[in-house]
């Protein structure tokens, strides 16, 4: 039977796909490139790339298995198509667009697993699902974060699968217990031997639920642990609920609890060995030669989650990435990710706490209910992750599953939940007010999420992908002997793999020979340093390049570029010296750097102080143009003054 989903859900699902294909040029955090795309594209396409510190072979903290068998396989498939395209169509398929979009399309496909698991959890438990799916699909967390190549996005998908298998086990066990109770009751009240034999046989036909979904749950937990060790915080209560199923019931022996723990341990061994072997081979700790001569010791294996934990429990290491107050997740990140859904969650938590304190335990969900599972599945991770002083919003994106399950009806009530019998008993005025309030919540939800989709999907650091794409095309058209020196300021790191320049650390092959290439471009990140220091460093760099070429009689051409937000253009112009000429090549829109946010107050002040009625339209147009032009990313070429 086909699911009857509302049309708006299909429109939202299509929007999620279309926004990936456009593509979304917004750049949320460097990790979306440098923990996945950069590593896999550099390895598969043999291009220059910047391997992040997490993948350092001496102390690796990231497992390679999931990125390799997801994004890596997509890139290998693209390489196969590239061979045929070049052979028969003399056309290159590998472009910055393909590198970004192909990986995001995969993540987008995986994100629909979250939708499907939520649908199955509801239908298996005979619950309404339409409003839940609409709220989930309209959240910018799914549209933006759910299609990006974060390890947190993989964590979201694995958490959804874990919730599905645990909920399915809970539903099955609860149904099985009712059947056992019914058959046992009928057996006891039966008066004839024939009836007793009949119900006894029916009891024997009941399937055991003790180890139901054991292999799936243990495998998902291990894969999630290797993807991000913080997954244990999300898996804590789902696994507990799975273990505790039926406990306290006379038909479920207490020994089943220990049997299930043993089952999880045994079933986790294959995925545990798989991840350890993948990491050990990838980081060079284990080789086939050592296996061939049977020279393998414990030192030939690497356990990346242990390194991850060792690194993150040291506060001095976390300080390198930024220390935050421990209430940031609750006060800031929850509302930022889930807006009014977070408000309803907070209200629901306060109500549950009040009921618990007042001893009204009958109002609280039980440990055998899916609602109880969902409630504890957001409380525990939120509490555990708040202990660590480094807190980013993306760490909480898996929480969208329990939050939507519990509180989506507060934003968009299911029409099927309205009782027709109450229509005449409820005053017309009250009914209209409730409907109006629910519409207000839904409209507010949609407006906030649309704004956040635009901001994080297209505005935030939106010029970085565009300028990288532009420089990549320029490198392809210029002579291979032309060197590129690229200075960046007040922007995120440029993903080097998108330049598609052959790696200088590998031997490249043709049909008849092997050859090596020299590094063609050099990136210099100035961070958010003062502009006078930036200009001084660029002048020194230009002089060093000229001196080097003069001493070594290097006649190769070079280009020196500066990438900087448009909001700093006026300050930069005032600091330019006679020794170097900053020629603006192009501006890329839209782009917002929070490190150099446009000074809107200055533009408004200019309009106010220079406003003249006789030239009103010119002043307004100039101010608006000036204001809009500051939301861009400028690319300058630095030329030596004649």
Give the closest residue to 169 by CA, choosing from 209, 203, 114. Answer: 209
Tokens for 417, please give them. 């939940």
Residue pLDDT, tens place only, 43-71 = 999 999 999 999 999 999 999 999 999 99
Q: What is the mean pLDDT of residues 184-194?
A: 84
Look at residue 419 and tell me whether its pLDDT is greater than 50: no
Q: What is the pLDDT of residues 598-631, one digit of tens each?
A: 877 766 666 666 655 556 666 667 667 778 888 9
pLDDT at 609: 66
Type and span of the H or E element at 254: none
pLDDT band at 418 (very low <50, low <70, confident <90, very high): very low
How much is the pTM?
0.92
Task: Tell me the C-alpha distance between 388 and 396, whole Å.
Answer: 13
Is the model's pLDDT at 500 over the cut of 60?
A: yes
pLDDT at 75 over 70: yes
Q: Which of 66-75, 204-213, 494-503 has the lowest mean pLDDT?
A: 204-213
136 and 115 in contact (C-beta within 8 Å)? yes
Residues near 366 by Cβ (< 8 Å), separated by ≥ 6? 372
In whole angstroms, what is the distance from residue 37 CA to residue 78 CA? 14
**pLDDT average, residue stretch 186-208:** 82
pLDDT band at 514 (very low <50, low <70, confident <90, very high): confident
Which long-range contacts (C-beta less than 8 Å, at least 24 apart) are formed by 516-523?
519/48, 520/48, 520/475, 520/480, 520/482, 520/483, 520/484, 521/48, 521/475, 521/483, 521/484, 521/485, 521/486, 521/496, 522/483, 522/484, 522/485, 522/486, 523/50, 523/486, 523/488, 523/493, 523/494, 523/496
Q: Name the maximum alpha-carbon separation found in the chain.
A: 112
pLDDT at 122 over 70: yes
At residue 85 the predicted structure's pLDDT band, cuts being 50, 70 and 90, is confident
Instruction: State the pLDDT at residue 367.
Output: 80
For the chain, what are the domain ranges?
7-459, 462-640
Structure tokens at 91: 């056309």
Helices (H), 388-427: 400-411
User: Residue range 386-403: average pLDDT?
Assistant: 95
Q: How far is CA 73 from CA 65, 80, 93, 273, 304, in A?
A: 11, 11, 16, 21, 22
Structure token digits, residue 24: 């979304």
Strands (E) located in 371-526: 483-488, 508-509, 514-515, 521-525
Secondary structure (H, E, C), 502-522: ECCCCCEECCCCEECCCCCEE
Reply yes or no on whether the pLDDT at 428 is more than 80: no
Distance CA 358, CA 397 (A): 32
Tokens of 261: 């723990």
Asked if 341 and 442 touch (Cβ cutoff 8 Å), the reply is no
> CA–CA separation, 337 vs 334, rounded Å?
5
- Give pLDDT tens digits for 103-112: 999 999 999 9
Measured CA to CA in angstroms, residue 378 lies from 25, 234, 484 at distances of 31, 8, 48
Q: Give percent above pLDDT 70 in the chain.
A: 92
Tokens 């990790």 sit on residue: 31
pLDDT for res 513? 84
- Mean per-residue pLDDT over the chain, rounded: 88
Which residue reads 């958490």 in tokens?
159
Q: Which residues contact 428 (CB under 8 A, 6 or more apart)?
A: none
Token pair 């750097």: residue: 593
Of 349, 400, 488, the C-alpha closest to 144 is 400
Q: How far apart are CA 180 and CA 206, in angstroms?
A: 8
Per-residue pLDDT band for 430 (boundaries 50, 70, 90) equals very low
The CA dihedral of 459, 449, 127, 330, to the nearest 10 degrees, is: 90
pLDDT single digits (tens) 274-295? 999 999 999 999 999 999 888 8
């Amino acid at each position: 039977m086909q699911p009857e989903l509302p049309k708006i859900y299909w429109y939202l699902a299509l929007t999620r796909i279309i926004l990936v294909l456009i593509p979304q040029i917004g750049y949320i955090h460097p990790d979306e490139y440098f923990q996945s795309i950069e590593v896999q594209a550099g390895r598969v396409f043999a291009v220059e790339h910047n391997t992040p510190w997490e993948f350092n072979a001496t102390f690796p903290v990231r497992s390679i298995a999931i990125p390799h068998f997801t994004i890596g396989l997509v890139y290998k498939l693209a390489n196969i198509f590239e061979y045929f395209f070049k052979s028969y169509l003399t056309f290159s398929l590998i472009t910055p667009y393909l590198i970004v979009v192909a990986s995001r399309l995969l993540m987008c496909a995986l994100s629909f697993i979250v939708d499907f698991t939520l649908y199955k959890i509801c239908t298996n438990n005979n619950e309404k699902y339409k409003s839940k799916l609409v709220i989930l699909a309209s959240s910018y967390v799914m549209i933006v974060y759910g299609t990006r190549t974060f390890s947190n996005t993989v964590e979201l998908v694995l958490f959804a699968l874990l919730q599905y298998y645990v909920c399915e086990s809970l539903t099955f066990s609860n149904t099985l217990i009712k059947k056992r109770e019914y058959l046992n009751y009928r057996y006891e009240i039966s008066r004839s031997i024939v009836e007793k034999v009949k119900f006894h046989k029916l009891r024997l036909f009941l399937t055991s639920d003790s180890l139901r979904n054991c292999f799936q749950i243990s495998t998902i937990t291990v894969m999630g642990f290797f993807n991000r060790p913080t997954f244990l915080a999300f898996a804590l209560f789902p696994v507990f609920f799975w273990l505790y199923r039926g406990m306290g019931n006379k038909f479920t022996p207490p020994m089943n609890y220990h049997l299930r723990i043993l089952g999880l341990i045994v079933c986790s061994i294959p995925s545990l060995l798989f991840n350890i072997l993948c990491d050990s081979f990838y980081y060079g700790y284990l080789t086939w030669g050592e296996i061939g001569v049977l020279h393998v010791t414990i030192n030939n294996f690497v356990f990346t989650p242990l390194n991850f934990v060792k690194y993150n429990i040291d506060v001095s290491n976390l300080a390198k990435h930024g220390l935050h107050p421990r209430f940031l997740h609750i006060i800031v990140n929850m509302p930022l990710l889930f807006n009014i859904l977070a408000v309803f969650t907070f209200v629901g938590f306060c109500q549950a706490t009040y009921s618990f304190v007042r001893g009204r335990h009958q109002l609280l969900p039980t440990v055998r209910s899916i609602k109880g599972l969902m409630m504890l599945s957001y409380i525990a991770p939120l509490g555990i992750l708040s202990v660590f002083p480094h807190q980013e919003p993306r760490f909480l994106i898996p929480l969208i599953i329990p939050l939507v399950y519990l509180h989506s009806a507060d934003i968009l009530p299911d029409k099927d939940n309205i009782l027709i019998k109450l229509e005449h008993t409820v005053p017309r005025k009250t009914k209209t007010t409730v409907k109006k309030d629910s519409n207000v919540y839904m409209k507010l939800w949609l407006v906030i999420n649309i704004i956040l989709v635009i901001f994080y999907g297209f505005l935030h650091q939106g010029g970085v992908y565009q300028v990288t794409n532009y420089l990549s095309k320029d490198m392809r058209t210029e002579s291979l002997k032309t060197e590129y020196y690229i200075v960046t300021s007040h922007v995120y790191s440029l993903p080097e793999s998108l330049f598609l320049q052959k790696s200088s650390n590998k031997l490249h092959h043709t049909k008849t020979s092997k050859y090596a290439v020299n590094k063609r471009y050099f990136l210099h990140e100035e961070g958010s340093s003062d502009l006078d220091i930036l200009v001084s460093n660029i002048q020194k760099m230009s002089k060093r390049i000229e001196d080097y070429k003069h001493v070594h009689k290097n006649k190769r051409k070079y280009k020196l570029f500066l990438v900087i937000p448009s909001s700093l253009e006026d300050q930069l112009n005032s600091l330019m010296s006679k020794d170097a000429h900053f020629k603006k090549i192009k501006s890329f829109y839209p782009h917002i750097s929070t490190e150099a946010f446009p000074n809107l107050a200055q533009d408004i002040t200019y309009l106010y102080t220079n406003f003249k009625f006789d030239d009103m339209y010119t002043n307004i147009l100039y101010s608006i143009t000036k204001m809009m032009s500051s939301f861009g990313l400028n690319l300058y070429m630095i030329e030596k003054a004649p």
